[in-house]
Amino acid sequence: MNESITLSITGNETTLSSNYFPPLNVYEDSEIALLCLQTFNSFPNINSSNNKLAVKVMSNNNNDEGICYIALKTGCYEITDIDRQIKKQINSYNEKYGTTLKFDISIDHNDFRSYIKCNGIIMFDMVNGIAPILGFEKRDYFPEYETHRSEKAVNLNTINSIKV
């Protein structure tokens, strides 16, 4: 049988479903396929379970000067968006406390690993931390190395299963 039916489902929830009447007759030689999933950055990849970061500020003589706590708002972020939001909060911290904390995130488009350059101690070992999203392990990263490369690829895609 060469019959073809296309169903289009739209919505703004994480679960999309549709009741189709009359039911489709799926014959033994039939195939069902998902042709396209267009999300348009509509699934938040940052939420309250993975939005936190802390950076310990170190002075020139390696004295602890405090901790800058960062929390991103729930939303759909690319690496550049995450970098921009973290820098914005760090700049506010620097202005408030007179520190010179610097932070920069970039991505290698060949292997999707992220790179972080920071002059403070990056404290990824925290509850609801952003480390797994950026491909890093949940541990502290010290500033003695110029740039830190993530152990895994960046994980910005929160869709992990599609049921058809």
Show me where the domains of the chain are located.
Answer: 52-153
What global pTM score does this model have? 0.76
Residue 33 in tokens: 């396929």
Higher pLDDT, 61 or 89: 89
Mean pLDDT within 137-160? 88
Q: How far apart are the first and last CA of the chain?
A: 21
Residue 2 has pLDDT above 70, yes or no: no
Question: Residue 75 to residues 78, 86, 150, 156: CA-CA distances in angstroms?
Answer: 10, 14, 22, 11
